[in-house]
Homo-oligomer: A and B are copies of this chain.
């Protein structure tokens, strides 16, 4: 039975790079990432599907029933955060493989005189969605969508100085294959929030992605002796940076509950010696909201309060905007399609926004894209205790299978034309 086989595969992949506390550690282009890639290849080739690997390490398993026609892509990513969860990304890829298998059977079972679907199908495993080892995140799909430059991304280094190009070479997944021509994209992912759980629903039809932006912050103080330097003579970069971290955390309180999320996840100090007052701290703040105005207001408030910290400690703080990702709306007909499929399957569904970035956000820039969520227990993710029940995963697989069938049969063709027209209008 296919649901059983899907669950067996899912729980098998969760053993690759497994951590003692039930998570996985499979950062991009590590040996653990290679093992899941090998598993993906084996799954596809065992079914006679041809696997292509492009220059940035994206993998495509191709199901071609109409030679020369473009492909509907379905998938997600098999890489994880360090000590990440086993559902984030992997669920979407494994569900896509099983959805593809089912759709292939449906195509093969079509009666005499029925034509095969107008679009071919490919399952994709995007490279480096997480960005924990190589920043920025959502790298493979962004290169695919033309939003990031491939050569530039290949030169990105991890903390040990290894480039993306070298790391991909090392695991044998720096490909040279042509990218498939793409007609549409669908992805299913855990929610990473607790709205579905709270409302007892099975499925989310993602309507838009939150506005997100990062601030690159550099605090330049003066190195001095922790023991011998008088407190009044210090310009302690870490004390100032700590106040910035707290400000970034507390700025959310200026707005309604959960209207804004913000945090600092990355911070390094120099020289980082127990008996030396730090001269330099570098940190990255992450601001996200459904409202660009709220992000703008929070950013302005932070700039002002950070300037106050710099004055108070008589040091310099540079703040630069980067990685600004505007709100992206998913096509309305895709959302309606998910609602229809859910109704057909008897699943509870609601429209939902995504606060996290996803490969589908990049793909939505170039083709009609459908994004679905299944529940996350407690809303936790990017950690080992991330959890979704087998039942929720199987319900999601059914929804993805139906959506995929509709997409290869041209369900979003109007939207595709719409995107083509928008692209032409932008060029014009």
- Residue from B84, B212, B274 within 8 A of A227 (CB atoms): B212
A173-195 vs B, CB cutoff 8 Å, 1 = contact: the mask equals 00000000000000000011110
Q: In the complex, are the beta carbons of B274 and A135 less than 8 A apart?
A: yes
> What are the 8 A-B residue pairs with the smallest beta carbon separation, nearest first?
A192-B228, A242-B242, A242-B245, A223-B383, A228-B356, A225-B382, A82-B271, A132-B273
Residue numbers in B under 8 Å from A232 (CB-CB): 257-258
Q: In the complex, are the beta carbons of B252 and A278 less than 8 A apart?
A: no
A residues 220-237 near B (Cβ < 8 Å) are: 222-234, 236
* A246 interface hit (Cβ, 8 Å): yes
* A131 interface hit (Cβ, 8 Å): yes
- Residue from B227, B264, B272 within 8 A of A238 (CB atoms): B264
A residues 362-393 near B (Cβ < 8 Å) are: 378-384
* A98 interface hit (Cβ, 8 Å): no
Q: How far is the CA of A286 from the CA of B258 in the complex (A)?
A: 37
Residue numbers in B under 8 Å from A227 (CB-CB): 192, 210, 212, 261, 286, 288, 355-357
Q: How far is the CA of A276 from the CA of B84 in the complex (A)?
A: 10
Q: Which residue of B lies closest to A286 (CB)?
A: B226
Q: In the complex, are the beta carbons of A266 and B257 less than 8 A apart?
A: no
Q: In the complex, are the beta carbons of A274 and B230 less than 8 A apart?
A: no
- Residue from B231, B378, B383 within 8 A of A279 (CB atoms): B383
* A263 interface hit (Cβ, 8 Å): yes
State how many angstroms separate the Cβ of A135 from the closest Cβ of chain B: 6
Ordered by A's residue number, 12 sampled pairs between the chains whose C-beta atoms are within 8 Å are A82-B270, A82-B276, A131-B274, A132-B273, A223-B382, A225-B381, A229-B380, A230-B261, A231-B262, A239-B245, A263-B277, A266-B272
* A145 interface hit (Cβ, 8 Å): no
Residue numbers in B under 8 Å from A86 (CB-CB): none
* A214 interface hit (Cβ, 8 Å): yes
Q: How far is the CA of A82 from the CA of B223 in the complex (A)?
A: 10
* A275 interface hit (Cβ, 8 Å): yes
* A411 interface hit (Cβ, 8 Å): no
Q: In the complex, are the beta carbons of A279 and B83 less than 8 A apart?
A: yes
Q: In the complex, are the beta carbons of A275 and B131 less than 8 A apart?
A: yes
Q: In the complex, are the beta carbons of A252 and B231 less than 8 A apart?
A: yes
A284-306 vs B, CB cutoff 8 Å, 1 = contact: the mask equals 10101000000000000000000
Residue numbers in B under 8 Å from A278 (CB-CB): 265
* A269 interface hit (Cβ, 8 Å): yes
Contact size range, A:
35 or more
Q: How far is the CA of A132 from the CA of B137 in the complex (A)?
A: 33
Q: How far is the CA of A242 from the CA of B309 in the complex (A)?
A: 14
Residue numbers in B under 8 Å from A257 (CB-CB): 232
Q: How far is the CA of A227 from the CA of B228 in the complex (A)?
A: 42
Q: Which residue of B lies closest to A191 (CB)?
A: B228
Q: In the complex, are the beta carbons of A225 and B131 less than 8 A apart?
A: no
Asked, given contacts A228-B193, A379-B230, whether A275 binds B286 with beta carbons under 8 Å apart, the answer is yes
Of A271, A286, A354, chain B has the most CB atoms within 10 Å of the CB of: A271
Q: How far is the CA of A99 from the CA of B261 in the complex (A)?
A: 64
Q: How far is the CA of A119 from the CA of B111 in the complex (A)?
A: 108
Q: In the complex, are the beta carbons of B249 and A378 less than 8 A apart?
A: no
Q: Which residue of B lies closest to A210 (CB)?
A: B227
Q: Which residue of B lies closest to A234 (CB)?
A: B263
Q: In the complex, are the beta carbons of B223 and A236 less than 8 A apart?
A: no
Q: In the complex, are the beta carbons of B82 and A273 less than 8 A apart?
A: yes
Q: How far is the CA of A288 from the CA of B231 in the complex (A)?
A: 11
State how many angstroms separate the Cβ of A323 from the closest Cβ of chain B: 8
Q: In the complex, are the beta carbons of B267 and A269 less than 8 A apart?
A: yes
Q: In the complex, are the beta carbons of A239 and B228 less than 8 A apart?
A: no
Q: How far is the CA of A400 from the CA of B251 in the complex (A)?
A: 57
Q: In the complex, are the beta carbons of A249 and B265 less than 8 A apart?
A: no
Q: Which residue of B lies closest to A354 (CB)?
A: B228
Residue numbers in B under 8 Å from A354 (CB-CB): 228
